[in-house]
Amino acid sequence: MFSPASPKHALILLFRSIFVVATHSLLITQTFLLCGLAVFGFHRLALVVRYIRLRCEVPRPKDIPKQLPVVTIQLPIFNEKQVVARLLEHTTQIEYPRELLEIQILDDSTDETRVILDELCARYCAEGFDVKVIRRENRAGFKAGALCAGLQCARGELLAIFDADFQPTRQFLYKTVPYFSDASVSMVQTRWSHLNSFFSLLTRAQSVLLDGHFQIEHTARHRSGFYFNFNGTSGIWRKSAIEAAGGWQGDTLTEDLDLSYRAQLAGSKFVYLCDVSVPAELPVEIDAFKSQQHRWTKGSVQVFRKLFRPIVSAPIRRDIKLEALLHLGANFCYPMLLLLGLMVLPCLYVTHTYSGLGIEETSSALQLILFKVVFFSAFLSLFLFYGTAVRETGSLTGRSLWYSLPLALVMGIGLSVNNSLAVIEALIGHRSDFNRTPKTGATNREKGAREKRPRAFRWRAWSHWIECVLAGYFLLTLYYALSIGRWEAVPFVGLYLAGFSIFAILGLRLPSLQTRFRIPGPRSIFAR
């Protein structure tokens, strides 16, 4: 016989059961995210091992070509008035027979850059260079459309491509063209170096991140026989290989990554030369940096969606398929990283307040996974990955290394909002314009270049406020973890707090104001 209180007790038991299920679901989701990040951590560690094992296997050309081929240098330009003169100056200084060299300026500009380019073109033509300015009626396809237009009228058998912020070296063609004596080689990519890595802490962190990609990832993939990609600039293509792979296509924001994988799936062979570098400018404004990262992240996920089935069904080795999918899907770690951080506070609250619901042991196990999996597989592997890259390139040494490397890792966390939005946009098929990264012409020696920053550029101001809110959220999480004595969560939460705090402060544009008025304070932290 049920008592009158039975319905009330039944309702309490129901809510209790629902809460227990929800709590365990929360902890299981946290475990899943930890395991996902661990996979990417172990993958980076595997790349470091491959790099160390294969770093002495430097590629060499089979022979020196008896007759040099005609080379077309393509320079995609869009409103780059700050750097086009520097670009043309270095391009025309490349050592190669003039009768075998064509320079195409693929100009989509809508500002005074057009006038500057016309004057430069007339000047260099008068000096005997074959320089042409190619313009389109509209910017359809963005950079891919411009490259496609240049491809149709290029007279060169080989096509070298440089973005506006690069400074081609004199020996670039003589160091890359000999590899095309092998008929199977379709593309040669060189390493990016940095014109302004010591301009500010922001550029130092970027140099660390890029050195990891170019020194470790590219080298390990190329020498292991895996697929790697052309980076849109400082590389040289065989024209016939581009055409055989379907040409430049503008349906993704990373046309270079897209073409690279289509060409390699079609049988093309790529070569990477990490000992040949081309210096380039790093973004000096946080908005420009975030815009660039958003485009790269969104584009790579778009390529992942586009080429997932062709890669899986391709008649290639399984390890090549797995490496390709890990490469193209690496940016999925950003939403996983963000969700994992957001779940720390509710997990701490639940495990502390409702320890009598049978989840105390689960919580302890998860905290053990937190340290062993995340710190020792993910974060430790990142330190080894980027530390090895910086040591090999020698780009940062001494005191600068001690703060630049941790700053780069912390800023990777700070990017999780910006890049998670890019992943979501790519997955839902949201179309967006190709936002070129603003250039300033800044170098390490040109301190006055701070005054040339394009202040009109503002990248998604509302995302900055999300980062500010998250900085406050993780400050609250840190306070709560300390108040309940959960010391094991403090380092983890501290990384998130540092990452979002840096982006919140930089997003206020204080460095620009302090440069103008010489106000002491945060500028001494974020700018040299």
Per DSSP bridges, beta strands 101-107 and 158-161 are: unpaired
CA–CA dist 219, 467 (Å, integer):
34
Tens place of pLDDT for every residue, the chain, 528 residues? Answer: 445 557 766 777 766 677 667 777 777 787 788 888 888 888 999 999 999 999 999 999 877 777 899 999 999 999 999 999 999 999 999 999 999 999 999 999 999 999 999 999 999 999 999 999 999 988 888 999 999 999 999 999 999 999 999 999 999 999 999 999 999 999 999 999 999 888 888 888 999 999 999 999 999 999 999 999 999 999 999 999 999 999 999 999 999 999 999 999 999 999 999 999 999 999 988 888 999 999 999 999 999 999 999 999 999 999 999 999 999 999 999 999 999 999 889 888 877 776 555 555 555 555 555 555 666 666 778 888 998 888 888 766 666 667 777 888 899 999 999 999 999 999 999 888 777 777 776 666 554 444 444 444 565 667 888 999 999 999 999 999 999 888 878 888 999 999 999 998 888 765 443 333 333 333 333 343
> Catalytic site residues?
108, 256
| 40, 330 contact by CB (below 8 A) | yes
Q: Where are the alpha helices (DSSP H) in 212-285?
A: 218-223, 239-244, 255-265
Burial class (CB in 10 A: 0-12, 13-18, 19+), 70: middle
Structure tokens at 190: 């060189």
Structure tokens at 493: 């939460």
Residues in the chain: 528
Report which DSSP code applies to 76: E
Per DSSP bridges, beta strands 185-194 and 269-280 are: parallel
Per DSSP bridges, beta strands 185-194 and 101-107 are: unpaired
Strand partners, 187: 237, 270
Q: Which domains does the chain have, with CATH numbers?
A: 22-52+332-526 (no CATH), 71-285 (3.90.550.10)
- Rounded to 10°, the helix 461-483/416-427 angle is 120
User: Would the CA dihedral through 190, 440, 403, 483 be positive or negative?
Assistant: negative
